[in-house]
A and B are shown apart, each in its own frame.
Chain A
Amino acid sequence: MKLPRWLRLPTQPLLRHLLLAVAGGLVLYVITLSVSQYDNLELAEIGWYAIAIAGLSVLTGVNGQISLGHGAFMAVGAYSAGLMMEHFDLPLIVPVLVAVGAAAVIGGLVGLPATRLKGPYLAGVTLALAFAVQDLPNKFSSLFNGDQGIIVNPPTPPGTVPAERWLAWITLFGAVVGMVILANFLRSRFGRSLRAVRDDEIAASAAGLNPARLRVLTFAVSAAAAGLAGGLFALWSGIVSPDSFSLFLSIQLLAGMVIGGSGSLIGAWWGALALVYIPEWTQNVSGHFNLSAGVKANMQNAVFGLLIIVIMMLAPSGIQGWLRSLWSAIGRLARRSKGDSDQAVAPLTSTPSPERISP
């Protein structure tokens, strides 16, 4: 099923990903114009979730390092951006870039001890970090303003653009740019190396890759994406407080990643959609039933938990993985209808021809 040449995407990473980004961006632009202001806010939420999940996906899905505390890196980004915006009057891009940088540095530092840790041990450390990060603003409350957090003024839209739409544009633009960079990264030799280290560390080092260095690098890149998400979150939420970065956020990111399809950037968008709309739908649906307050209050989480489980069972490689297998099943069907045999195994050149010899 090859497309004609002029329809195929360029192979040069930047051109290829920019083209995809512009196409995706156009679609999003049209959507922001045609939906309500509240929906725009949700689009903005999808934006920061998506880039945070994408960052986690690079770390966990592509490099095989489990992080149960990615919310901590978002906190780093959000607080850096929040503090910058509180104390200086700079164009928006500056605090956001600072958020990315700060998170990358912290991520790299966390990555250092993490390079020697495997599976659950790394999970334990990141979990503890996510737990600790909530208390730091209290310890240094003169800087971080304790539990109350830092209030971030919403960005002022130009002209007559409604504030919500402007927010959606900013977050989605940030997320898409972040995605382009992550996509470039994954398509480069670094991306390949990360996968190699994930699959077989011994073979990777025999092939000349330094697993420890690659792990730190991945941590930094992944945290940078989370930092970007944190910066966008600060704008979207209007407040940066310790409670914004509870363990639940980290867990949501992980769940979103696996639901969307771990290791896939497109999957990150599916995951973000799920995180934003599953609770909303549950709330709307449970509103139609005459449930007692106690049940209603727990409905949202119960359905969320149940859906996580169900998706993992029905689509073990997430939504993106499911779509992919659907696509290849369609491809197989198409081929079969063209009359190709289903013996898909290609015989070896050195394998003798299969004619039968009677003994």
Chain B
Amino acid sequence: MTATTADGLPAAPAADTAPAAPATAAGLVVENVTVSFGGLSVLDNVSLTSSTGEIVGVIGPNGAGKTTLFNVICGFVRPQEGRVVWRGKQLRHHHPYDLASLGIERTLQGVGLFQGLDALDNVLVGAAPVARSGLFSALFGLWPSSREERRLRDQAMEALDRMGVAEYAARMPSTLPYPVQKRIALARALVSQPALVMMDEPASGLSASDISELAELLGALRSEMGVLIVEHNMDLVMATCDRIVVLDFGKVIATGVPDEIRADPVVTTAYLGEAVESEPADARD
């Protein structure tokens, strides 16, 4: 299974052949990142790669450092050590808002929609990185900006349509059911056609049927972009991820394809536990 990235470069080898890609490959490379907050070590020498055509899952116990890892990639948190490389270039002193124009989008834990904008406008904000029209044209309402606005509007409608929520375009987020909001947030991330989407707990709060629809959707994205997800819902992770990285106390304790992870005893004791239905062993004595 080989795919090509947006640049036409060969994608990183599929998960089953090599767990970590060399730093020169296109896509995202996180190398030896270490973060601590006031002496408390949150990430300890963590490395990870992601490239187009691949869905990578990051799992681990609560407080393992998954969200922090996302924050490092996005520039919300500066690592004490290690580096983040995107398409062969190191991201240095980058800000969260730089990422979108580099082709990386992120969804937040929860929904993070703008409550004062309707669904369509929410998605249009996501199109900001590809908007080009200038301030002058905007102030005087000239045609370059209105033409572009029409074009972006079409794209945004397309993105909403793809998520199956086009009919809610004119509604305010707060009046919409939670799963619809989550889809709008996803449409916002996808409208600028990023090369990598990072999702923080996309399944949280969704019902089983919504989760299976989400899994389908993620599968469809695989060919177009890289996907990095943090998730506690094992159904989703096991069903969609090509490769899984397990964090515990800030360290990578396992990497592999879903079946390997499921079978890994270290992961089971630290994170998965027994199946929910059975009486759990007293893991925390």
Contacts and interface: CB of A to CB of B under 8 A. Distances in A.
A130 to B, nearest CB: 26
A350 B179 contact: yes
A204 B121 CA distance: 12
Interface stretch (A28-36, A207-215, A251-259, A324-332): A207-215
B166 to A, nearest CB: 11
B66 interface: no
A204 B97 CA distance: 8
B138 A208 contact: no
A204 B74 contact: no
A211 B138 CA distance: 18
Contact of B125 (A15, A204, A346, A349): A204
A211 B105 CA distance: 17
B125 A192 contact: yes
Contacts of B113: 200, 203
A199 B111 CA distance: 13
A199 B117 contact: yes
Interface footprint category on A: 35 or more
B165 to A, nearest CB: 9
B141 A189 contact: no
Contacts of B167: 346
Contacts of A199: 114-117
B139 A181 contact: yes
A191 B108 CA distance: 23
A346 B171 CA distance: 11
B143 A208 contact: no
A206 B112 contact: yes
A320 to B, nearest CB: 15
Contacts of B38: none
B216 to A, nearest CB: 12
B146 A205 contact: no
A213 B72 CA distance: 22
Contacts of B139: 181, 184-185, 188, 221
B199 to A, nearest CB: 11
B213 A17 contact: no
Interface in B120-170: 121-122, 124-126, 128-129, 131, 133, 135, 137-143, 145-146, 148-149, 152, 164, 167-168
Most chain A CB within a 10 A radius of its CB, from B106, B124, B141, B189: B141
B112 A17 contact: no
A207 B128 contact: yes
A207 B145 contact: no
Contacts of A207: 100, 105, 125-126, 128, 188-189
Nearest to A184: B141
B74 A193 contact: no
A12 B117 contact: no
A196 B116 CA distance: 8
A189 B117 contact: no
B192 interface: yes
Interface string A144-188: 000000000000000000000000000000000000110111011
A180 B140 CA distance: 8
Given A199-B116, A203-B112, A349 B164 contact: yes
In the A-B complex, the 8 residue pairs with the smallest Cβ-Cβ separation, listed nearest first, are: A208-B100, A13-B141, A14-B141, A184-B141, A188-B138, A199-B114, A203-B112, A205-B96
Given A11-B146, A196-B125, A210-B95, 8 more contacts: A12-B143, A184-B140, A192-B124, A199-B116, A204-B125, A211-B97, A350-B179, A350-B209
Interface of A: 11-17, 180-181, 183-185, 187-193, 195-196, 198-200, 202-211, 217, 221, 346, 348-350
25 contacts: A11-B146, A13-B145, A14-B146, A15-B141, A17-B141, A183-B141, A188-B141, A189-B128, A189-B131, A189-B145, A190-B138, A195-B114, A203-B113, A203-B114, A206-B97, A206-B105, A206-B108, A207-B126, A208-B101, A208-B128, A209-B97, A217-B135, A221-B139, A348-B177, A350-B179
